[in-house]
């Protein structure tokens, strides 16, 4: 199915690794013009070698002022993927202020407003995809802060859709299960722990990066032109249990 993303300018956060990197690679392959945002310069350098022509921006999205400065001059953007996230896992009774603040700074506060403002100023339609999680709607042990940030992101997605819809800007979330990126491996590489999660997934397997990327590209494209405010599960049936 042709998604007609060629020539569109797309900003992707958390672009250095995992889902973000896979999204940049897939968008580059469609002919889209990609602005890749990561806090790790080495990841951006290797990504530029893989995908010549992408525009790298190195900034820590947890720093609001630095983000405003870094992205204030990127120019017109048509589509946005808010993918940057951290997973700082602690039992509820041991949650630290640092983990709480950092998690909300990156997972929620870093959702980019500049793109929506630019679309409205230009008077053009657009699409935004927020990368959430299956944990937004189900409790997982030691994930109290992470689950909270993703639950908040789901509601932010709906409010963004409500407020930006009149400007012809669609906003949706994708909610994947465990994906064995470097972040996923850090949490779920232990076979016993992984089995407890897999037992809750009817399809009996974790997602691949491409499963999530395909959902993101669909929601960015005009093929989903009547879809906004949704949370699209990519979780093998986890929410059905």
* DSSP per-residue codes, 110-149: TS--HHHHHHHHHT--EEEEEE--GGGSS--TTBHHHHHH
Q: What is the mean pLDDT of residues 157-164?
A: 98
CB 36 within 8 A of CB 80: no
Q: Give me the percent of the chain exceeding a pLDDT of 70.
A: 100
Q: pLDDT digit string (tens) for 205-225?
A: 999 999 999 999 999 999 999
What pLDDT sits at residue 223? 96
pLDDT-derived band of residue 185, with 50, 70 and 90 as boundaries?
confident
Query: In DSSP terms, which residues pair with 10 in a beta bridge?
Result: 34, 79
Judged by DSSP in three states, 235 sits in coil
What pLDDT sits at residue 193? 87
pLDDT-derived band of residue 23, with 50, 70 and 90 as boundaries?
very high
What pLDDT sits at residue 136? 95
> Which helix H or strand E contains 233, and what residues bound it?
strand 231-234
Q: What is the mean pLDDT of residues 43-58?
A: 97
Residue 168 phi, psi (nearest 5) = 65, 35
Given the residues 145, 146, 175, 224, select the one marked as catalytic.
Answer: 146
What pLDDT sits at residue 215? 98
Measured between alpha carbons, how far apart are the two ends of the chain, in Å?
Answer: 31
Is 48 catalytic? The answer is no
């Amino acid at each position: 199915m042709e998604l007609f993303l060629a020539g569109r300018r797309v900003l992707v956060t958390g672009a250095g690794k995992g889902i973000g990197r896979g999204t940049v690679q897939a968008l580059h392959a469609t002919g889209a013009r990609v602005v890749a945002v990561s806090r790790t310069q080495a990841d951006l350098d290797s990504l530029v070698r893989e995908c010549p022509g992408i525009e790298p921006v190195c900034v820590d999205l947890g720093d609001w002022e630095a983000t405003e400065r870094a992205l204030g001059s990127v120019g017109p953007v048509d589509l946005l993927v808010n993918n940057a996230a951290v997973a700082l896992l602690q039992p509820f009774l041991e949650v630290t202020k640092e983990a709480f603040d950092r998690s909300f700074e990156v997972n929620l506060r870093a959702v980019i407003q500049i793109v929506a403002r630019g679309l409205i100023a230009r008077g053009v339609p657009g699409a935004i995809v927020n990368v959430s999680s299956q944990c937004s709607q189900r409790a997982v042990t030691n994930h109290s802060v992470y689950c909270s940030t993703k639950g908040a992101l789901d509601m932010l997605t709906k409010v963004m859709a409500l407020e930006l819809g009149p400007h012809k800007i669609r906003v949706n979330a994708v909610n994947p299960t465990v994906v064995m990126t470097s972040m996923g491996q850090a949490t779920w590489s232990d076979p016993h722990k992984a089995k407890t999660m897999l037992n809750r997934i009817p399809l009996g397997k974790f997602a691949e990066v491409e499963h999530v990327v395909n959902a993101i590209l669909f929601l960015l494209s005009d093929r989903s032109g009547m879809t906004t405010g949704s949370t699209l599960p990519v979780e093998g049936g986890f929410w059905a249990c």
